[in-house]
């Protein structure tokens, strides 16, 4: 069966209408809707949308994407806009690479060492918990394997990366993704509210959601929803280091779950289990290399002063980079909203949903508890 699709450049012209819709949406939100929310009065309350519900251009953008797909277009993105919305992950990845301009190598080492400790611990504990609960609920081993990595590392990417290694069917992947995305959408909207209510700092909040939320796009959205500023020390700068650490661990976690899967099979079918080296080559997310190169250039002062705490203010180049990043993230997250399909989320159910919710909620709450316990040890940049 051939799965070949036309090349990127051949599809690019057909992406323009969808791209235009995304751009127009974000321009309207940032120039008219957000300023209106900042002054509007509802039921005698001054600015309730921004002050009480903490809505900003990021959350509004996602809501617009959701409404386009699920309300305006009746659950299916029309052909004319479809390819444009497929550029949303490209935009999010581009923004994440550009985020490298927020850090110097010393800041990465400071944040990264904390992140490795938290992320590593949570990834291992989550895998163990899912494998155990999978046995308790009597789930198929392939389904358990996909859920283990989906819930421990990076949601959708991890589920897709694990599926061939554990012989998962498309339905397994669909169940796992529906479960984690359903849970993730909820956390994406409630986390900023919880963070503000608890009076968390950007550092504490970024560490919490970077550990507790399952999906890269949702981590980004929750961070920017808490504080839309893109600068060193803001929620997004912390959460994304956690996220990068987690993304890097994909090949290792895929290997661990693959070893578990094949160890439990009575007859090993030759050649199916891949080595860690092969998985590293095949699955390593190379956009992380782009991010590190960006950090290298920033550390060398290629873009001028970064604006770290106690240092010089950010250069004009860095300020422009951050402004562009905000727009790119805004565009990407409107597109992300357009990929949330309520009909498909209803596929989640039964034991996989139960397992997913138990593990997801445990991880989310435990991450908050751990961050609050170690808050004095967290190092700000």
Report how far residue 78's alpha carbon sits from residue 83's, in angstroms, rounded to the nearest whole number. 9
Among 273, 290, 292, 354, interactor with another protein by CB under 8 A: 290
Q: Residue with structure tokens 């990127």?
A: 8
Smallest gap from Cβ 97 to another protein, in A, equals: 4
Diameter of the chain measured on Cα atoms? 70
Instruction: List binders of another protein among 326-345 (CB under 8 A).
Output: 328, 339, 341, 344-345
Q: Residue with structure tokens 């291992």?
A: 124
Which DSSP symbol is given to 229? -
Instruction: Choose one: 168-176, 203-211, 359-367, 372-380; the region binding another protein (CB under 8 A).
Output: 168-176
Q: Closer to another protein by CB, 15 or 371: give it.
A: 15
Q: Closer to another protein by CB, 42 or 302: give it.
A: 302
Which of these, 200, 251, 237, lies nearest to 110 by C-alpha position?
A: 237
Instruction: Choose one: 36-44, 254-262, 288-296, 349-357; the region binding another protein (CB under 8 A).
Output: 288-296
Which of these, 181, 159, 156, 158, lies nearest to 168 by C-alpha position?
A: 159
Report how far residue 12's alpha carbon sits from residue 196's, in angstroms, rounded to the nearest whole number. 41
Strand-pairing partners, residue 42, are 45
Instruction: List binders of another protein among 340-369 (CB under 8 A).
Output: 341, 344-345, 347
Report how far residue 362's alpha carbon sits from residue 185's, in angstroms, rounded to the nearest whole number. 16
Among 126, 149, 152, 163, interactor with another protein by CB under 8 A: 163
Q: Which residues, in sequence order, are CB contacts of 23 under 8 Å at separation 6+?
A: 331
- The C-alpha R_g of the chain, in whole angstroms, comes to 21
286 belongs to the binding site for another protein (CB under 8 A): yes
Q: Closer to another protein by CB, 125 or 276: give it.
A: 276
**Contact, 181 vs 206, CB < 8 A?**
no
Instruction: Choose one: 102-110, 123-131, 197-205, 282-290; the region binding another protein (CB under 8 A).
Output: 282-290
Q: Closer to another protein by CB, 54 or 93: give it.
A: 93
178 belongs to the binding site for another protein (CB under 8 A): yes
Backbone φ, ψ for residue 41 (5° rounding): -120, 130
Smallest gap from Cβ 25 to another protein, in A, equals: 18
Q: Closer to another protein by CB, 63 or 324: give it.
A: 324
Smallest gap from Cβ 26 to another protein, in A, equals: 16
Burial of 229 (0-12, 13-18, 19+ CB in 10 A): middle
Write out the DSSP string of 279-316: HHHHH--THHHHHHHHHHHHHTTTTS----TTSPPPPH
> What is the contact mask toward another protein in residues 86 to 125, using x (rule: CB under 8 A)?
xxxxx--xx-xxx---------------------------
Instruction: Choose one: 59-67, 258-266, 315-323, 354-362; the region binding another protein (CB under 8 A).
Output: 315-323
Among 29, 119, 139, 161, interactor with another protein by CB under 8 A: 161
Smallest gap from Cβ 177 to another protein, in A, equals: 5
Which of these, 252, 215, 257, 261, lies nearest to 360 by C-alpha position?
A: 215
Q: Residue with structure tokens 């970077």?
A: 210
66 belongs to the binding site for another protein (CB under 8 A): no
Q: Closer to another protein by CB, 207 or 245: give it.
A: 245
253 belongs to the binding site for another protein (CB under 8 A): no
Q: Rounded to whole angstroms, what are the CA distances from 159 to 124, 169, 216, 262?
A: 16, 11, 13, 17
Instruction: Give the footprint of another protein on this chain (CB under 8 A).
Output: 1, 3-5, 7-8, 11-12, 15, 83, 86-90, 93-94, 96-98, 156-157, 160-161, 163-164, 167-170, 173-174, 177-178, 181, 285-287, 289-290, 294, 302-303, 316-317, 320-321, 324, 328, 339, 341, 344-345, 347
């Amino acid at each position: 069966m051939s799965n070949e699709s036309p090349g990127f450049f051949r599809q690019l012209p057909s992406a323009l209408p969808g791209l235009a819709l995304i751009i127009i949406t974000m321009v309207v939100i940032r120039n008219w809707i957000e300023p209106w929310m900042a002054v509007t009065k509802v039921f005698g309350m001054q600015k309730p949308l921004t002050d009480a519900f903490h809505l900003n251009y990021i959350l509004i953008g996602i809501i617009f994407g959701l409404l386009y797909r699920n309300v305006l277009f009746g659950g299916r993105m029309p052909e004319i806009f479809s390819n444009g919305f497929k550029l949303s992950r490209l935009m999010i990845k581009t923004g994440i690479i550009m985020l490298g301009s927020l850090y110097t190598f010393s800041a990465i080492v400071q944040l990264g060492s904390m992140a490795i400790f938290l992320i590593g611990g949570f990834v291992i504990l989550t895998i163990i918990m899912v494998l155990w609960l999978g046995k308790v609920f009597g789930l198929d081993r392939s389904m358990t394997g996909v859920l283990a990595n989906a819930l421990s590392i990076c949601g959708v990417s991890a589920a897709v990366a694990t599926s061939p290694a554990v012989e998962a069917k498309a339905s397994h992947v669909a169940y796992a993704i529906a479960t984690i995305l359903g849970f993730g959408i909820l956390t994406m909207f409630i986390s900023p509210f919880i963070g503000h209510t608890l009076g968390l700092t950007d550092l504490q909040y970024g560490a919490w959601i970077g550990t507790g939320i399952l999906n890269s796009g949702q981590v980004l959205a929750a961070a920017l929803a808490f504080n839309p500023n893109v600068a060193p020390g803001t929620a997004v700068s912390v959460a994304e280091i956690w996220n990068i650490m987690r993304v890097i661990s994909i090949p290792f976690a895929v290997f661990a779950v693959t070893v578990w899967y094949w160890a439990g099979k009575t007859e090993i079918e030759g050649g199916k289990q891949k080595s860690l080296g092969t998985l590293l080559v095949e699955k390593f997310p190379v956009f992380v290399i782009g991010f590190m190169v960006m950090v290298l250039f920033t550390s060398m002062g290629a873009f001028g002063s970064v604006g770290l705490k106690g240092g010089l203010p950010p250069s004009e180049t860095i300020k422009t980079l951050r402004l562009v990043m905000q727009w790119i993230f805004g565009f990407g997250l409107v597109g992300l909203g357009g990929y949330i399909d309520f009909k498909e989320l209803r596929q989640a159910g039964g034991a996989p949903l139960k397992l997913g919710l138990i593990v997801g909620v445990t991880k989310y709450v435990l991450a908050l508890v751990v961050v609050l316990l170690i808050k004095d040890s967290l190092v700000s940049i």
